[in-house]
């Protein structure tokens, strides 16, 4: 996968040679909607299902002249929202066992396949589950703006979306197991995606029955996930290669130290900020935010660095994990590294997610987005702001951190 990463680098040499013009009037629709004749169910009508709203509900609306932009509880690069969520549900009182599409704009579920003796379990080699959450990428929503570099944002967005789902499950004390090892190609075909969408991840929760489940008895009808679509062979080839990079199921243990009230509040109030007031934060608060993050990342060959600009009682400088590598004020350099975005240097700390060249590239990107989402929720709980930074100079960061690792993501936190 390294060759794909190399082709999406931003360097000092190539950054200003790119002449792509963005016409925002041509932006692809950022949500999928099945035809009106499909049956829909409002989440508010079913107490056991209301937690699903926390996966992607609108939490804030911004106005730009006559236009409105709906922001969701999960962030997305450029606000393009390339992830779609499909949910298989069994055993909910007065609710049909079936496969549903989640529509965050309406906070509803659309029934796209009623279950009989079939189901998603047969594609995952697992027992029947009460809930199976499937996550797909609609890549054109991102490639429309970011071209080939969209492969990074798609997987980072996937990680953030998984973070939203995970936080919702923790809030409900529901079992959860992340599963990337399932028959993605066969499921893509069963859902009639035709390379317009690609399944990338799943989570299942709560064993239902120990009985055999057949494959879907019929393919789900095709519905275009955008109002128009331009195919990108580079990205489709990337997905094709990623299907061969399976990895183990993940058992994750974050956010459980937060009370239910505080976690719900963090989910609702998390925002990606555009500027900091440059007020310092306490070392203890930063350590709380990062608790468990570095040790979890290391299990999956992700190395975390950060540059301290405004953390009280901690020396300014570059850190690998919490070990000082080079002391000094790097705020101006951090701005330059973040593609000359001031937010990179005015934060209290800018965090860098990196991975070894030979590590599982897709997994590293997804988990970087996931961990960034956990950081954002933990920071919000402490009334500290954050934002993800996906545009940066790959080569300059490697030189500054003195590493040959792939640079995957930047996360700025502060006040």
Count other Cβ atoms within 10 Å, centred on residue 269: 14
How many CA atoms lie less than 13 Å away from 183 in the CB half-sphere?
Answer: 14
Reported confidence tier of residue 18, pLDDT bands at 50, 70, 90: low
State yes or no: pLDDT of 20 exceeds 70. no
Give the separation between CA 408 and CA 364, rounded to whole angstroms: 8
**Which secondary structure element, helix H or strand E, spans residue 318, and what is its range?**
strand 317-320
Structure tokens at 124: 């995952």
Torsion of CA 19, 23, 26, 32, to 10 degrees: 80
Mean pLDDT of the chain: 94
Q: How many helices, marked H, and strands, marked E, lie in the chain?
A: 12, 15
Strands, E assignment, 44-197: 58-64, 67-72, 83-89, 98-103, 108-114, 129-137, 177-179
Q: What is the pLDDT of residues 347-372, one digit of tens each?
A: 999 999 999 998 899 999 999 999 99
Comparing C-alpha atoms, which of 363, 346, 364 is closest to residue 355? 364
Coil, strand or helix at 18? coil
Q: Given a cut of 90, is residue 70 above it in pLDDT?
A: no
What is the distance between the alpha carbons of residues 95 and 221, in angstroms, rounded to a whole number?
A: 22
Q: Which residue has the tokens 């930063």?
A: 286
How far apart are the C-alpha atoms of 84 and 197, rounded to whole Å? Answer: 9
Q: Check if the beta carbon of residue 253 is closer than 8 Å to that of residue 225.
A: no
Flag whether pLDDT at 290 surpasses 80.
yes
Could you report the per-residue pLDDT of 190-239, keeping only the tens digit for each? 999 999 999 999 999 998 999 989 999 999 999 999 999 999 999 999 99
* Residues 345/310, Cβ–Cβ less than 8 Å: no
């Amino acid at each position: 996968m390294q060759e794909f990463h190399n082709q999406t680098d931003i360097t000092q040499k190539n950054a200003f040679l790119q002449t792509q013009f963005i016409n925002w009037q041509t932006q692809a629709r950022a949500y999928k909607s099945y035809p009106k004749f499909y049956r829909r169910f409002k989440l508010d009508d079913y107490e056991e299902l209301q937690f699903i709203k926390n996966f992607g509900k609108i939490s804030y609306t911004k106005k730009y002249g006559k236009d409105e932009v709906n922001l969701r509880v999960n962030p997305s690069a450029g606000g393009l929202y390339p992830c779609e969520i499909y949910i298989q549900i069994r055993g909910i009182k007065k609710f049909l066992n079936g496969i549903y599409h989640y529509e965050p704009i309406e906070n509803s579920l659309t029934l796209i396949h009623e279950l009989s003796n079939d189901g998603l379990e047969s594609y995952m080699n697992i027992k029947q589950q009460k809930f199976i959450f499937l996550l797909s990428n609609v890549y054109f929503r991102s490639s429309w703006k970011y071209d080939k570099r969209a492969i990074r944002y798609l997987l980072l967005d996937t990680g953030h979306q998984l973070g939203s789902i995970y936080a919702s499950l923790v809030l409900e004390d529901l079992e959860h197991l992340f599963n990337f090892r399932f028959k993605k190609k066969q499921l893509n075909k069963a859902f009639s995606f035709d390379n317009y969408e690609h399944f990338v991840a799943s989570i299942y929760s709560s064993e239902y029955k120990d009985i055999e489940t057949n494959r879907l008895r019929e393919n789900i009808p095709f519905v275009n996930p955008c109002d128009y679509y331009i195919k990108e062979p580079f990205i489709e080839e990337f997905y094709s290669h990623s299907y061969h990079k399976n990895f183990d199921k993940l058992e994750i243990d974050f956010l459980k130290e937060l009370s239910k009230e505080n976690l719900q509040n963090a989910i609702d109030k998390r925002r990606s900020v555009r500027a900091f007031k440059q007020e310092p934060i306490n070392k203890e608060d930063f350590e709380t935010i990062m608790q468990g993050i570095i040790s979890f990342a290391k299990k999956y060959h992700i190395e975390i660095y950060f540059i301290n600009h405004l953390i009280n009682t901690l020396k300014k400088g570059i850190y690998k994990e919490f070990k000082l590598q080079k002391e000094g004020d790097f705020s101006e350099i951090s701005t330059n590294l973040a593609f000359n975005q001031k937010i990179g240097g005015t934060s209290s700390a800018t965090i860098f997610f990196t991975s070894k060249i030979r590590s599982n590239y897709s997994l590293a990107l997804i988990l970087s987005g996931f961990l960034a989402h956990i950081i954002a929720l933990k920071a919000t709980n402490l009334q500290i702001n954050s934002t993800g930074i996906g545009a940066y100079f790959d080569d300059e960061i490697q030189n500054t951190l003195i590493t040959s690792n792939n640079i995957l993501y930047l996360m700025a936190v502060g006040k």
